[in-house]
Chain A
Amino acid sequence: MSIAAIRTLRGRAWQIYEQMGMPTPQQEDWKYTDLGRINAALGDNWWKPAVPERSIPSLGADQLEALAIPDLDAWIAVFIDGRFQAALSDLPEGIDFAPLMRLVIDRPEQAASMLEVDKRMPLFNGFVAVNSALATDGGVLLLKANTVLDRPLLIRHIATRSGTAHIRHSIRLKERAEAHIVEHYCGIGEAAGLTNTVCQIDLAAGSRMRHDRIQMEQPCHYHIGRLSVTQARDSQFESHSVALGAALSRVDLSVELAGPGAACALNGLYLIDGRRHADHHTVIDHAVPHCTSREHYRGVLDDRARGVFNGKVVIREGAIKSDTAQSNANLLLSPFAEVDAKPELMIYNDDVKAAHGCTVGRLDTRQLFYLRARGLTEADARQVLTFAFADEVLASLKPAPLRRFVEHAAFSRLFHEEDAEEMLT
């Protein structure tokens, strides 16, 4: 295996993209998300990488500081416009971490297996193919059996210019390893750009991962993200996917429960305003018996924002004793906001426990009245209840500095800064 072989593989991936093109609303999985906005902002060559080869982006220390998560004690890997920044990163000694660019040179076989296009992947689309063809960099982490990463690994993605950052991460936990990964997406400036990330997670038997994905990119930015998780026997995966930023974002999260006893808990919050559009698609595949899945997504939509939630749970033939519960709740704050939800259950087996629920509503008038009777103004009462609604998802974020940071980012969007401060103390 050589670099030439990788080049061939990338060529094939590009051909697949050329055949498929960008998804359109005629496709069921893209019914409510029109990517015309990306074309309009970035042009037909939307995929052009943000950073040309060998050009090294740079950010001032104060700029970096302003985007940081205060007080979070974590290992850090920094990517600016899709390029790994070793000098800004702080990684523990002795763990197997390599940026994709190094991997391509040092271990081309491993890089090739990571970039291989698998069209059978749930929710496969042209963005994944483009990512395989053009991924500039990414983090490749392998935790050996029985190792526990002592602090969360914070992967910071900072977008500073126009063009697209194609990022490919791969995280593998061997038997009984444990890790907490935080993917943070943010940016500076007014340039319209696109983030196109693919993160593949492979959890071996008995391993455990917390995974938090915090997307708060600039209002002119676009975000296409994917998280594909495969879980072996008795592994555990708990995630939070929070969308607060970008003009348009779409996150595809798929979990394959491939070993008996595997369990996942997916939490999500889309809290957006302005003309933002946030789309979350999830697929939980119960492929084998005795697995458990929980899913809880909430949406708060203000102004002209539009939220899309599609959660599919598949229970295969033979996957007996599967246990799944899914809920999606939405709050519309403005007459121009919109939500489109589609919770799906596909069940091929009678020995299962499966339930889902979906609600769209306004704030409870009785609760509003109760608070007003206690002396709150109507506006304050609304804020308190909206806060409580969204915080159901954020309250389980750990550790405390991460929770505080995300709560602050979420609620300062909806409320006056000082109100948010007060509510969060």
Chain B
Amino acid sequence: MSEAVKLKPTPRSFAATQYAAGFVTEIEQETLPPGLNEDVIRRISAMKGEPEWLLDWRLEAYRHWRTKREPRWSMVRYPPIDYQAISYYSTPRRKGDGPKSLDEVDPKLLETYEKLGIPLREQEMLAGVAVDAVFDSVSVATTFKEKLKEAGVIFCSISEAVRDHPDLVRQYLGSVVPITDNFYAALNSAVFTDGSFVYVPKGVRCPMELSTYFRINASNTGQFERTLIIADDDAYVSYLEGCTAPSRDENQLHAAVVELIALNHARIKYSTVQNWYPGDENGVGGIYNFVTKRGDCRGVGAKISWTQVETGSAITWKYPSCILRGDDSVGEFYSVALTKNYQQADTGTKMVHLGRNTHSTIVSKGISAGHGCQSYRGLVRMAKSAENARNHSQCDSLLIGDRCSAHTFPYVEIKNPTATMEHEASTSKIGEDQLFYCRQRGIPEEDAVNLIVNGFCKDVFNELPMEFAVEANRLLAVSLEGAVG
């Protein structure tokens, strides 16, 4: 038995810790000048050829927004945002009407998505995943439309939906997140430019995973997309969103609204892999991700589950929530969030139990490294009507290094004596003992950290669709590189 004498750690480029999605696409863009007033909203609406009712709705939202103040209760700190310095509309320039097919889409755009690992040409795609690609303010392509149409599923940009399915949009838009809901939701309602729309009719199981890839490219613009997903009685849909942006020194605002509606016995699974540009190692630049996501289990036995893997953004402020209105409805929230360098995240969920026998599960795994600051903020509310409601919450934090912080703020409001709720939280660091054990088994320190972190996140990754679980794993590993040392 002879063993190699030269024993070196596996070579590994730490340069790989750079944000891989940080490139800029050189493309001609049409961008509205910075600033926000009623005229800007009228122009956005006109450019999109919207009906009168939608313009009125936007204007009402805008007027309401002007009366509101930015929320300040979260554990995130940032300089004041000048909302008049942001451009509210930016689109790749195109000739005449929008592209009829992918062949008409600017090759530079296709290239951008390919570089991000999201080929839009159907033959190259992951089988069984339909994609809507949103570039800055507009949707540039939606794949597998025809195949979905056969099943009766509508999957298109929300602009198209306004044009082609106005009744559905008018019925559901703002019915989960009203324009008065909060500061950012009001702003989004006033200026949203695009986003995805999904309608799955009664009894239909959507034949493939649906996904939207959001890309911020232009500078000085905000991204305000609006997503609306409706699963009619007994329908099922699994939807995934991914997000990236170029590395820039300035902060950019992303204020999206996502509304989910699940009718009787419908199920919606919504997964997010959020990798917006997080800023550099000194905390310069990065996306402000101020997002309102809410699902309404409107029907009996409906189920909505949110799974999120959050590694990007300079600041994250989001609480994907479930209103459990229908009896026997189920809400789930599975989250992995990583903050490193100077990233800040205040994230969690709200489970509002209104119906009888409603159940909710919360599993939140927070990892904080460097100067990262992370808060779990969750609400479990059980109304007087929520007979036999149940919740189980598990919130664990893992700290890496002595400059980071992790906070847990669970709000529990129970008004029904038959309800049960359990909340558990723990905070720990990666144990020296665990690291030594792995290293003694021959696993280099960086890999050992990844291994332990992945074990820590396993309950959440198990909830992701297979392909994306692998992606999430990889993303976490890349994000963690250099975080330990």
Interface residues of A (CB under 8 A from B): 28, 32, 317-318, 320, 330, 332-362
B382-425 interface with A by 8 A CB criterion: 382, 384, 397, 399-425
Tell whether, in the assembled complex, residue B402 and residue A330 are in contact, meaning their CB atoms are under 8 Å apart. Answer: no
Q: Which residue of B lies closest to A354 (CB)?
A: B427
Residues on A with beta carbons closer than 8 Å to the beta carbon of B402? 317-318, 320, 349-351
Residues on B with beta carbons closer than 8 Å to the beta carbon of A332? 414, 416-417, 419
Tell whether, in the assembled complex, residue A345 and residue B416 are in contact, meaning their CB atoms are under 8 Å apart. Answer: no
Tell whether, in the assembled complex, residue A338 and residue B408 are in contact, meaning their CB atoms are under 8 Å apart. Answer: no
CB distance from B311 to the nearest CB of A (A): 19
Tell whether, in the assembled complex, residue A362 and residue B414 are in contact, meaning their CB atoms are under 8 Å apart. Answer: no
Q: A333-B417, A350-B399 are in contact. Are A345 and B412 (CB under 8 A)?
A: no
Tell whether, in the assembled complex, residue A345 and residue B427 are in contact, meaning their CB atoms are under 8 Å apart. Answer: yes
B428 proximal to A (CB < 8 A): yes
CB distance from B340 to the nearest CB of A (A): 13
Question: How far is B428's CA from A350's CA once the two chains are assembled, in angstroms?
Answer: 7
Q: A333-B417, A350-B402 are in contact. Are A345 and B423 (CB under 8 A)?
A: no
B14 proximal to A (CB < 8 A): no
Q: Which residue of A lies closest to B428 (CB)?
A: A353
Given contact pairs A341-B410, A350-B404, a sample of 4 additional A-B residue pairs in the complex whose CB atoms are under 8 Å apart: A332-B417, A343-B425, A347-B399, A358-B423
Tell whether, in the assembled complex, residue A359 and residue B423 are in contact, meaning their CB atoms are under 8 Å apart. Answer: yes
Most chain A CB within a 10 A radius of its CB, from B401, B418, B427: B427
Tell whether, in the assembled complex, residue B412 and residue A350 are in contact, meaning their CB atoms are under 8 Å apart. Answer: no
Partner of A337, one of B401, B412, B417: B417
CB distance from B427 to the nearest CB of A (A): 4
Tell whether, in the assembled complex, residue B429 and residue A348 are in contact, meaning their CB atoms are under 8 Å apart. Answer: no
Tell whether, in the assembled complex, residue A348 and residue B405 are in contact, meaning their CB atoms are under 8 Å apart. Answer: yes
B426 proximal to A (CB < 8 A): yes
Partner of B417, one of A344, A355, A362: A362
Question: How far is B423's CA from A351's CA once the two chains are assembled, in angstroms?
Answer: 23
CB-based A-B contact count at 8 angstroms: 113
Tell whether, in the assembled complex, residue A357 and residue B425 are in contact, meaning their CB atoms are under 8 Å apart. Answer: yes
28 CB contacts below 8 A, A to B, read A317-B403, A318-B402, A332-B419, A334-B417, A335-B416, A337-B415, A337-B417, A339-B413, A341-B411, A341-B414, A342-B410, A343-B408, A343-B410, A344-B408, A345-B406, A347-B397, A347-B407, A350-B400, A350-B402, A351-B402, A354-B426, A354-B427, A356-B424, A356-B425, A358-B410, A358-B421, A360-B382, A361-B419
Residues on A with beta carbons closer than 8 Å to the beta carbon of B424? 355-357
Q: A347-B399, A347-B407 are in contact. Are A357 and B414 (CB under 8 A)?
A: no
CB distance from B418 to the nearest CB of A (A): 6
Question: How far is B406's CA from A346's CA once the two chains are assembled, in angstroms?
Answer: 6
Q: Which residue of A lies closest to B413 (CB)?
A: A340
Tell whether, in the assembled complex, residue B422 and residue A347 are in contact, meaning their CB atoms are under 8 Å apart. Answer: no
Partner of A338, one of B397, B404, B405, B415: B415
Residues on B with beta carbons closer than 8 Å to the beta carbon of A355? 424-427
Tell whether, in the assembled complex, residue A347 and residue B405 are in contact, meaning their CB atoms are under 8 Å apart. Answer: yes
CB distance from A259 to the nearest CB of B (A): 21
CB distance from B62 to the nearest CB of A (A): 25
Tell whether, in the assembled complex, residue B429 and residue A350 are in contact, meaning their CB atoms are under 8 Å apart. Answer: yes
Q: Using C-beta atoms within 8 Å of the partner chain, give the interface range for chain B.
A: 35 or more
Partner of B423, one of A28, A320, A357: A357
Question: How far is B394's CA from A356's CA once the two chains are assembled, in angstroms?
Answer: 10
CB distance from B369 to the nearest CB of A (A): 9
Q: A317-B402, A335-B384, A350-B401 are in contact. Are A343 and B417 (CB under 8 A)?
A: no
Tell whether, in the assembled complex, residue A344 and residue B414 are in contact, meaning their CB atoms are under 8 Å apart. Answer: no
CB distance from B480 to the nearest CB of A (A): 15
Most chain B CB within a 10 A radius of its CB, from A32, A334, A345: A345
Residues on B with beta carbons closer than 8 Å to the beta carbon of A359? 420-423
Q: A338-B415, A347-B405, A350-B400 are in contact. Are A361 and B410 (CB under 8 A)?
A: no
Tell whether, in the assembled complex, residue B429 and residue A360 are in contact, meaning their CB atoms are under 8 Å apart. Answer: no
Q: Which residue of B lies closest to A312 (CB)?
A: B409
B78 proximal to A (CB < 8 A): no
Q: Which residue of A lies closest to B426 (CB)?
A: A355
Tell whether, in the assembled complex, residue B420 and residue A361 are in contact, meaning their CB atoms are under 8 Å apart. Answer: yes
B53 proximal to A (CB < 8 A): no
Residues on A with beta carbons closer than 8 Å to the beta carbon of B412? 339-342, 358, 360
Residues on B with beta carbons closer than 8 Å to the beta carbon of A361? 419-422
Question: How far is B416's CA from A354's CA once the two chains are assembled, in angstroms?
Answer: 30
Partner of A342, one of B411, B427, B428: B411
Residues on A with beta carbons closer than 8 Å to the beta carbon of B397? 347
Question: How far is B411's CA from A32's CA once the two chains are assembled, in angstroms?
Answer: 11
Q: Which residue of B lies closest to A309 (CB)?
A: B412
CB distance from A250 to the nearest CB of B (A): 18
Residues on B with beta carbons closer than 8 Å to the beta carbon of A350? 399-402, 404, 429
Residues on A with beta carbons closer than 8 Å to the beta carbon of B384? 335-336
CB distance from B374 to the nearest CB of A (A): 10
Question: How far is B140's CA from A227's CA once the two chains are assembled, in angstroms?
Answer: 62
Q: Which residue of B lies closest to A352 (CB)?
A: B427
Pick the 4 closest A-B CB pairs, nearest first: A350-B399, A332-B417, A350-B429, A361-B420
Tell whether, in the assembled complex, residue B407 and residue A344 are in contact, meaning their CB atoms are under 8 Å apart. Answer: yes
Tell whether, in the assembled complex, residue B427 and residue A344 are in contact, meaning their CB atoms are under 8 Å apart. Answer: no
Question: How far is B75's CA from A347's CA once the two chains are assembled, in angstroms?
Answer: 12
Residues on B with beta carbons closer than 8 Å to the beta carbon of A340? 411-414
Residues on A with beta carbons closer than 8 Å to the beta carbon of B399? 347, 349-350, 352
Residues on B with beta carbons closer than 8 Å to the beta carbon of A317? 402-403
Tell whether, in the assembled complex, residue A339 and residue B418 are in contact, meaning their CB atoms are under 8 Å apart. Answer: no
Question: How far is B417's CA from A243's CA once the two chains are assembled, in angstroms?
Answer: 20
CB distance from A347 to the nearest CB of B (A): 5
Question: How far is B417's CA from A348's CA once the two chains are assembled, in angstroms?
Answer: 37
Question: How far is B414's CA from A354's CA once the two chains are assembled, in angstroms?
Answer: 25
CB distance from A309 to the nearest CB of B (A): 9
CB distance from B463 to the nearest CB of A (A): 23
Question: How far is B254's CA from A245's CA once the two chains are assembled, in angstroms?
Answer: 50
Residue interface mask B415-445, A partner, CB < 8 A = 1? 1111111111111110000000000000000
Question: How far is B278's CA from A94's CA once the two chains are assembled, in angstroms?
Answer: 66
Question: How far is B421's CA from A339's CA once the two chains are assembled, in angstroms?
Answer: 11
Partner of B409, one of A338, A344, A354: A344
Partner of B420, one of A28, A336, A353, A362: A362
Partner of B406, one of A333, A347, A351, A362: A347
Question: How far is B404's CA from A347's CA once the two chains are assembled, in angstroms?
Answer: 9
Question: How far is B416's CA from A334's CA once the two chains are assembled, in angstroms?
Answer: 8
Partner of B407, one of A335, A337, A346: A346
Question: How far is B407's CA from A352's CA once the two chains are assembled, in angstroms?
Answer: 13
Question: How far is B312's CA from A60's CA once the two chains are assembled, in angstroms?
Answer: 71
Question: How far is B410's CA from A344's CA once the two chains are assembled, in angstroms?
Answer: 7
